[in-house]
Amino acid sequence: MVLVYPPDPGAEPVPPWSTALLSQRDLSLRIPLNYVTYPGVSVTKACFGKNVFDDASAMRCWSNLFATGFRRFILDLYWDDTRRVWAFCPVQLSSNASSILSITASTAQLTARSGPAHSGSLTVLDERQVDSSLVVPSATRAATSTNTPAPASVDALFHVGPYSCSQSLDLSSFTTVLADYMANTGNNLQAIVTYLTLNLHVAAPSPSTDAPQLSSSNVPAYGQLVGNLLNVNLSNYLYTPRLLRQDRANLNSSWYTATDDHLPQDAYFNTTTVGNGDFSTSNGWPSESILEFSKKTYRLAAEYGQIDPQLSLYNFTGDAGLIFSEFAFQASPGSQLTSNDDQSCFFNYYDDTIAAHNNSWAVSSQLNISRSEDVFNDGSGITSSYNLTACGISPLLNETLFNKTANEDYRLYQTIAYSSIWSWAAGEPRNISSSDDKSMHIRCAAFDAEASGRWHVADCKQKHYAACRVGNEPYVWRISSNKAAYSPSDETCPSGSSFDVPRTALENQHLLSAVQQRRGEDRSDTIVWLNFNSLDISGCWVNGISTRCPYQNGVDTKRKLIVPIVAAVIVFVVTGLTLFVKCAANRQKSRTGRRRKRANDGWDYEGVPS
């Protein structure tokens, strides 16, 4: 069957969720990856919780998880030595298994479509149009689709004990769908960095027997190593340990070559000076801006997770340059949720240094999920997911929600992903109707201490205190002494501080503490201005009172969609070739005295007859 990225209608974020996700991504673009929180999910639980491993369901499930906003994916891969493949099915499916196993067939009718191929950089948008609004496109809208349905495919499912498995579903299936997702989101509105955690197991001969210890002749050959298989479809996107070592060794020739608006915030890592005066780092990670908006776009990183002892002879050296070491992207926060939902937290009011709040790669699967589906449908989100995020910990979903996989009901999983948004309150930033007389003024972000520090859209003419960052410190905030409307707020901050906005969940928590302390002196106002607005273009949120929207849409007159990267390149190349050929032709005609002109003395272009 054709493997593509086909999320269910509604799985991709729409406003206000798409706006919240984009604006939050943009705020944290310059923060090192290891200090940014994002939701993760176990693919085994979300897609194979019912022990059914068929191609069509898996493709739909993976696509829905990609679309809903998850960024870390835990994969359980099983080496099936009888077929020499990395599969998702926990038991072996030998080539002659059909004679001894119960087999059924499942059919799937899918619409084949082609998406833009990766070309190494993200889409650059057009000149801005006045009185326009930013609309984040869905990946499927950005792709070029065909109307020809793919032929129905028949996937044989081998029933082995409790498992129903397709022989064709393996790691390459996942990477094919992931590559199509990457291609269809290859623009500067939708691109995000995705993380893979690879748990490596050995498939058992049967459900009732243990997996065997692999000998040197049974382990994967070099071409079957996990890293090499990832590289087949994802090499253009993969950020590797080799690249990290090179980048760290000389920051002046790597991360520090970025433009000012993409430079990583080096307050989050240590630097040392090498002999020639250049800087290096031993613990720094690149920011998302470095990976996504550099000369070569990297949007994927993979690490090893749990590794079965039966794989002790696996050639890890062969993967060392491609896959990060075990749990390189995970650190136990040392905190567990208790029955009364109390938890430890990286936030500490009395200490505002990075070293004290080293939430680098902090992850926790301790989510208190309600047993009622109503909680998932009321729009308020999952409290435990938000609480973990607010404490600087990335939530990891490790269960099948209400016995429904993500291909059966993506909305349950979407709720978990959306609950990890640490900035905007539910339903924010809301869309203000252009018919509203105040619509041009209701475009500023306000921090609400009464709402646990969540943000909402407010009238820029209102007067509030301002959030002021001390120097470039991540966790040191002051609140202005005087109230002002939004625009003059940058003049109200105390000396040594500046009007600003939090860039991470933990920064937001420290600001909340500063606001609460200020309220002890004045309880008349729980709202604080943030230096975050959409004054330039509705729906495009930027840091800076006079900052212009960086996303200038240019596909149609309403400027609502962006051009997919390959389409843009093709148009550019074709246009360039057309001009080149035409100019050459006109030069030739000039030499022969037969140059034709239009009435206004412009070039006479000959097009295709209508």
Would you say residue 224 has pLDDT above 70? yes
What percent of the chain clears pLDDT 70, i.e. is strictly above it?
73
pLDDT at residue 240 is higher than 70: yes
Which pLDDT band holds residue 525 (cuts at 50, 70, 90)?
A: confident
Q: Which of 217-231, 376-390, 494-508, 558-572 has the lowest mean pLDDT?
A: 558-572
Give pLDDT tens digits for 158-174: 999 999 999 999 999 99
User: Over 80: is that where the pLDDT of 8 sits?
Assistant: yes
Work out the average pLDDT over 557-569: 35
* Confidence band, pLDDT 50/70/90 cuts, at residue 432: confident
Q: What is the pLDDT of residue 431?
A: 81
Least confident span in 37-46, 200-209, 261-270, 370-379: 370-379
* pLDDT tens track for 264-284: 998 999 999 988 889 999 999
> Strand locations in 520-588, DSSP E?
527-533
555 pLDDT band (50/70/90 cuts)?
very low
Query: In angstroms, rounded to a whole number, what is the distance separating the alpha carbons of residues 178 and 240?
Result: 17
Beta partners for residue 304, in sequence order: 198
The pLDDT of residue 302 is: 98
Residue 386 has pLDDT above 80, yes or no: yes
Per residue in 505-514, is it b (16+ CB within 10 Å) or e — as a string?
bbbbbbbbbb
Per-chain mean pLDDT for the chain: 81
Within 10 A of 518 (CB to CB), how many other CB atoms are there?
20
pLDDT at 355: 57
Task: Report whether 259 contacts 287 (CB < 8 A).
Answer: no
- Taking residues 353-367, report their average pLDDT: 79
pLDDT digits (tens, 9 = 90+) for 278-315: 999 999 999 999 999 877 789 999 999 999 999 999 99
pLDDT-derived band of residue 58, with 50, 70 and 90 as boundaries? very high
* pLDDT value at residue 470: 96
Tell me, what's the pLDDT at 521? 66
> For 12-110, where are the E strands, in sequence order?
40-42, 52-53, 72-80, 85-87, 102-108
* Residue 260 · residue 268 · CB < 8 Å: no
As a whole number of angstroms, the longest Cα–Cα distance in the chain is 90
What's the confidence (pLDDT) of residue 144? 37
pLDDT band at 601 (very low <50, low <70, confident <90, very high): very low
pLDDT at position 247 over 80: yes
Q: Which of 226-240, 381-395, 585-599 has the highest mean pLDDT?
A: 226-240
Q: What is the pLDDT of residue 418?
A: 95
The number of CA neighbours under 13 Å toward the Cβ of 366 is 19
Type of residue numbered 604: D
What was the pLDDT predicted at 338? 33
Report the predicted TM-score, pTM, of the whole model to 2 decimal places: 0.83
Is 396 a residue whose pLDDT tops 50?
yes
Which range has the top average pLDDT, 239-243, 346-350, 560-564?
239-243
Render 396-443 in DSSP notation, one character per residue.
EE-S-GGG--TTT-HHHHHHHHHTT--SBPTT-SPPPPTTSTTTTT--
